[in-house]
Amino acid sequence: MKMSIAVPCYEYNGRGVRYLSELFYSIQRQTLKDVEVVVSDQSNDDEIQNFCSDNIFDLKINYFRNKNGRGNAALNTNAAMEICKGEVVKLIYMDDFFYTEDALQKTYDALINSDKMWLVCGTNHTRDEGKTFDHPIYPRWNDRMLKARGNNTMSGTSVISYRNKNMDIRWDDSTFGLLDIDFYYSMMGKYGMCVFLDEILVSQRVNNTDNIISTRSAEQIEKEFEYCRKKHGITL
């Protein structure tokens, strides 16, 4: 199998099935068909499980009910990653979706035809359920990402893909707001620089009302920065 799409899920305040449906539709439209969708579900209800069982988009779905560490995004993402069988694994959050129909094919080709272990693609953002798109980001490495807030020039989890074979980096379940940056540093430290695919292939949904990170105290944020700096040997 060429590609696995790893999707950590939960009920998302009653919007889980709607968001997952939009993601699955964007997967159904892809030109690359040799794909499995791996769903790790931490929901308290059965809505996502039933939706995956109905499989209205006729996808190859590998569903897993994850009862470990509910509410911990790192553990849920790791659970999905462990099940993936594809040559390349694409990470994407359930409320995001693929922007173009050739997103998976371009990702697969760019990574397989390189000597790199991982890849990040361009992304944009939607604040109105996909009616309009703004804030395009073409990721670039930035040594200041763990210096202070606002320095994440790589964007979020949904831009990441990697070669599955022998890839043993996992998300640190001690991280929260910095889990993606911590993952980037771990990948960079072990495997070196990634492929930068300068095309917008993923759209990320901006849900301001669900921004849990913004409710964290300055002390909590700084403690996480200190933890990650120490872990990766970074000094201010």
pLDDT confidence of residue 131: 87
Sequence-ordered list of residues with C-beta below 8 angstroms from that of 3, at least 6 positions apart, any chain: 32, 34, 35, 36, 86, 87, 88, 89, 90, 104, 107, 108
In this model, does residue 63 exceed pLDDT 90? yes
Cα–Cα distance, 155 to 10 (Å, whole number)? 22
Model confidence at 236, pLDDT cuts 50, 70, 90, reads: confident
pLDDT confidence of residue 213: 53
Note whether 123 and 98 are within 8 A (CB). Answer: no
Q: What is the CATH number of the domain that holds 13?
A: 3.90.550.10
Which pTM was predicted? Answer: 0.95
pLDDT in tens, 118-167: 999 999 999 988 889 999 999 999 999 998 888 899 999 999 999 999 99
Mean of per-residue pLDDT scores for the chain? 94
Cα–Cα distance, 170 to 225 (Å, whole number)? 18
Section 61-90 average pLDDT: 95
In this model, does residue 215 exceed pLDDT 90? no
Q: How many structural domains is the chain composed of? A: 1
7-21, 36-50, 165-179, 208-222, range with the lowest pLDDT: 208-222
Cα–Cα distance, 126 to 133 (Å, whole number)? 5
pLDDT in tens, 93-122: 999 999 999 999 999 999 999 999 999 999
pLDDT confidence of residue 208: 63
pLDDT in tens, 176-190: 999 999 999 999 999
pLDDT confidence of residue 98: 98
DSSP assignment letter at 214: G
Sequence-ordered list of residues with C-beta below 8 angstroms from that of 186, at least 6 positions apart, any chain: 169, 172, 232
Quote the domain boundaries for residue 173: 3-232
Section 69-77 average pLDDT: 93
229 versus 215: which is more confidently predicted? 229
